[in-house]
């Protein structure tokens, strides 16, 4: 019975690492190199972060307290990135929250940005909270590095966004990045995207693989993320939210 309990606990721990709520929204590119974000970061060329249209999802500077996983609709590329700016269009539209919690636009379905409703359906007269005519349905802005390098987009597009703070289970803090996300536990495996520096990534479990010397340790541990991809533990500065089991 003791052995059975241990096995059950391990399975529960593995399944506990979840990405949380996920919605398909329209993404636009931020650009604005040299400008300052809502949390005080000066935007650099090919930077890695995102913007959401509410300060309720804004991470403090140089943290990933609020991190998203944004993926192409095919799932071929993803990036884990901290939320460091507010936009697009609105600044009080925490559309990922249920109506009872959502700050504004409470009669919209959970997961639908006000800008999308305004653009597609003429909601609020087709205008944002500032009275501007909404010219696209954007619900997330991507910094240039996230847009071009992480997702390899060439134009604005629909993406699948997981709001990771709504999930559960262990999270690893990417201490140095952008870090390659791979299909297996070795640098020989193909990359499927990036994890930005400071991003908090959901870790299901870990395996042993290629030994990697990184900024925090030399290790053969590779963490399997909730997406089924892998990152080397040599680049993870800390783990919080629970104990990571062996896969």
Confidence of residue 221 (pLDDT cuts 50, 70, 90): very high
What confidence score (pLDDT) does residue 208 get?
98
30 neighbors 43 (Cβ within 8 angstroms): yes
Q: In Å, how far are 80, 110, 231 from 25, measured between CA atoms?
A: 16, 12, 26
What confidence score (pLDDT) does residue 85 get?
98
pLDDT digits (tens, 9 = 90+) for 65-117: 999 999 999 999 999 999 999 999 999 999 999 999 999 999 999 999 999 99
Mean pLDDT for 201-209 is 98
Domains of the chain: 1-18+169-247 (2.30.30.40), 20-167 (2.40.40.10)
User: Bridge-partner residues for 81, per DSSP?
Assistant: 68
What confidence score (pLDDT) does residue 2 get?
39
What confidence score (pLDDT) does residue 130 get?
98
SS3 217: coil
What confidence score (pLDDT) does residue 42 get?
98
What confidence score (pLDDT) does residue 12 get?
40
pLDDT digits (tens, 9 = 90+) for 106-161: 999 999 999 999 999 999 999 999 999 999 999 999 999 999 999 999 999 999 99
């Amino acid at each position: 019975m003791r052995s059975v309990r241990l096995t059950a606990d391990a399975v529960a721990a593995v399944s506990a690492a979840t990405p949380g709520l996920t919605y398909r929204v329209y993404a636009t590119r931020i650009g604005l190199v040299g400008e300052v974000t809502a949390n005080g970061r000066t935007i650099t060329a090919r930077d890695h972060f995102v913007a959401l249209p509410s300060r309720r999802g804004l991470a403090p500077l140089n943290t990933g307290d609020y991190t998203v996983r944004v993926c192409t609709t095919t799932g071929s590329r993803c990036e884990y990135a901290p939320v460091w700016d507010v936009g697009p269009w609105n600044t009080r539209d925490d559309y990922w929250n249920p109506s009872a919690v959502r700050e504004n636009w409470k009669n919209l379905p959970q997961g639908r940005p006000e800008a999308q409703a305004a653009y597609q359906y003429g909601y609020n007269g087709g205008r944002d909270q500032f009275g501007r005519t909404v010219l696209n349905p954007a619900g997330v802005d991507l910094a240039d590095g996230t847009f071009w390098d992480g997702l390899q987009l060439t134009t604005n597009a629909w993406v699948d966004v997981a709001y990771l703070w709504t999930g559960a289970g262990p999270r690893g803090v990417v201490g140095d990045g952008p870090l390659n996300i791979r299909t297996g536990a070795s640098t020989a495996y193909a990359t499927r995207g990036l994890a930005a520096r400071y991003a908090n990534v959901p870790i299901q479990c870990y395996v042993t693989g290629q030994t990697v010397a990184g900024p925090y340790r030399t290790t053969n541990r590779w963490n399997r993320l909730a997406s089924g991809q892998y990152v080397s533990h040599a680049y993870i500065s800390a783990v919080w939210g629970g104990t990571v089991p062996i896969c």
